[in-house]
Amino acid sequence: MKVVIVGGVAGGASAAARIRRLDEHAQIIMIERSGYVSYANCGLPYYVGGVIKEQEELTLQTPESFWDRFRIDVRVRQEVTAINPAEKTVTVRALDSGKTYTETYDKLLLAPGAKPTVPALSGVDSERVFTLRTVEDTLRIRRFVEDQKPKTAVLAGGGFIGLEMAENLVEMGVSVTIIQRPKQLLAPLDADMASFVHAEMRRRGVVLRLGETVTGFRQDGDSVLTLLEDSEPLRSDMVLLAIGVTPDTHLAKEAGLELGIRGSIVVNERMETSVPDIYAVGDAVEVTHFVTGQKALISLAGPANKQGRIAADNICGGNSRFHGSQGSSVLKVFDLTAASTGINEKAAQAAGIAYDKVVLFPASHAAYYPGAQSMAMKVLYEKESLRLLGAQIVGGDGVDKRIDVLATAIRAGMTALELTELDLAYAPPYSSAKDPVNMAGFMIEDLESGKVRQFHWDEVDDLPRDGSAALLDVRTEWEYQRGHLDGFRNIPLDDLREHLDELDRGKPVYVNCQTGLRSYLACRLLTQYGFTCAHLSGGYSFYRAVTKEQQTARSAYPCGMEKL
């Protein structure tokens, strides 16, 4: 059996090694148009910033190591220019010599990945405008930074690459401005959860120009002007385009393969395309979202590697299946970690799913053990079935652990209530006896059993302030004086029982505290004394973080993300 693989990064390289492990006698040819294979896309910004010191550390394998260990014929700096399914051949061009040749195949695997989205804007080909996708891109940016020593940079795009590059440039002393057409960074997060990321970026000196549109670029001596739709141009020493990626599928289209959303390649669960003996994996393919069941593009290394393994199994006569991706991701943002899995509120609404949510600020480990930090945690679940839909967490230590537990719970089909039963490891330096994931389950259990009602930050301004309801802040007097919600009266939780006669049982009570714990306790108390009560989800911390962001506060570090 002769297998030709187009593309040698995550999906292609994984498939090649798996095929060899399954079939020692297969002829395997991997063709990669760049000069490198099996490289770590996710590590590229950290090489630019000098965190990763040596260029060799970016590549897991080389053409030579692939041959030595697996006897795989890896051809770099060669590009497949055409596929002929009827004859089962590909046309290949050697980029250095310009020569072309034809290669036959029994099985063909397409793993071309995605290319940086580069809009047709004036000046986009300037030598000071960069994209970051390949090792060559990284080396070019690294050389520029070392030689030109830029002082200012504009990053167009606020996704993973944009934020990672922003951090690395700032650490090198570069002043960074991020321009983003949507009014938030990190699309996997809801806007309220992204507020914590915005605050951290601004705290580190990054200027955020959200809700603005780039219209072009213009070189001006040793500077480049970024032209904006409704604002004055921004002058900088360099620009990085990081506005997203587009499936690189022109070969598939020209070969007559069926295409899906945004021109991606349609595959089935076996990673087979619409043409026999042609498989496809990675960022170029359309997948089924595990939570919604809808078609999606999810450009992440984890799914690409899994798909490569599954395609390899099936090429070798197996029957492996890819059951969809839920887009689990994690990102370092200076001193914060931002992570998500499943779907957010916007996606749930688009899918027509009736959902509810809880927001909490649990500690990373036992609060009495030194170094505990709170994390902002949001969990979505479907109202009727109580199945878990998604989660978002922003904080310090322990974020990655909790998002992985929740990602596993979603994949296992667990309900939100079953989070209460998870038996998770506990020791004071690592967690609490009631882990944050357990706490999310307890909160949902109380909501669904009717023990407590909640309202959210975006409903605060609409609360009745005409005397028809009681608005209570149950924090301490000191906390209240530092800042409070308009119209809320301060009665500390510990004093509440002595003030019950001052409240009218015929009026609803809306309660607020710092993070939602004391207001929950207050509602349980009030409910048992005959009051109708609801408490603020996420408390004053969450409300303040989101509304401060809406006011584009420049330097405040949001309450609730401080060390406990």
The series of mean pLDDT values per 10 residues for the chain, 564 residues long, is 95 96 98 88 85 84 93 97 98 97 98 90 91 89 93 94 93 95 94 96 95 93 93 95 92 97 97 98 96 94 95 97 96 96 97 97 94 95 97 96 98 97 96 96 97 96 95 97 96 97 96 96 97 97 89 42 32
Count of H-run helices and E-run strands, the chain: 14, 30
Residue 464 has what DSSP assignment? -
- Residues 6 or more apart whose CB falls under 8 angstroms from that of 534 comprise 452, 453, 454, 455, 508, 509, 510, 511, 523
Q: 201 vs 25, 26, 170, CA distance in Å?
A: 53, 50, 10
What is the Cα Rg of the chain in Å?
27
**The two structure tokens encoding residue 325:** 């991706």
Residue that is written with structure tokens 């040793």 in the block: 222
Return the DSSP state at 213: -
Q: Which of 42, 316, 513, 559 is catalytic?
A: 42
Closest C-alpha to 139, from 242, 237, 44, 75: 44
Nearest residue to 409 via CA among 383, 440, 434, 431: 440
Q: Please give the sequence-ordered ranges of beta strands (E in DSSP) within 500-553, or none if there are none.
A: 509-512, 533-536
Q: Are 257 and 278 in contact (CB under 8 A)?
A: yes
pLDDT at 558: 36
Closest residue by Cα to residue 107 from 178, 19, 44, 188: 19
Secondary structure in 3-state letters for 352-420: CCCEEEEEECCECCCCCCCCCEECEEEEEEECCCCEEEEEEEEECCCHHHHHHHHHHHHHCCCEHHHHH
Distances (CA, A) of 483 to 137, 519, 541, 544: 48, 16, 10, 9
Find out whether 185 and 178 touch, Cβ atoms under 8 Å. Answer: yes
pLDDT for 559 = 36
Residues near 239 by beta carbon (within 8 Å), at least 6 away in sequence? 126, 128, 129, 130, 153, 154, 155, 156, 217, 224, 226
392 bridge partner residues: 340, 378
DSSP 272: B
pLDDT of residue 564: 28
Closest CA to 381 of 420, 408, 354: 354
Provide the token pair at 226. Answer: 């970024």
Copy the structure tokens of residue 523: 């509602």
Q: How far separated are the first and last CA of the chain, in Å rounded? A: 61
42 labelled catalytic: yes
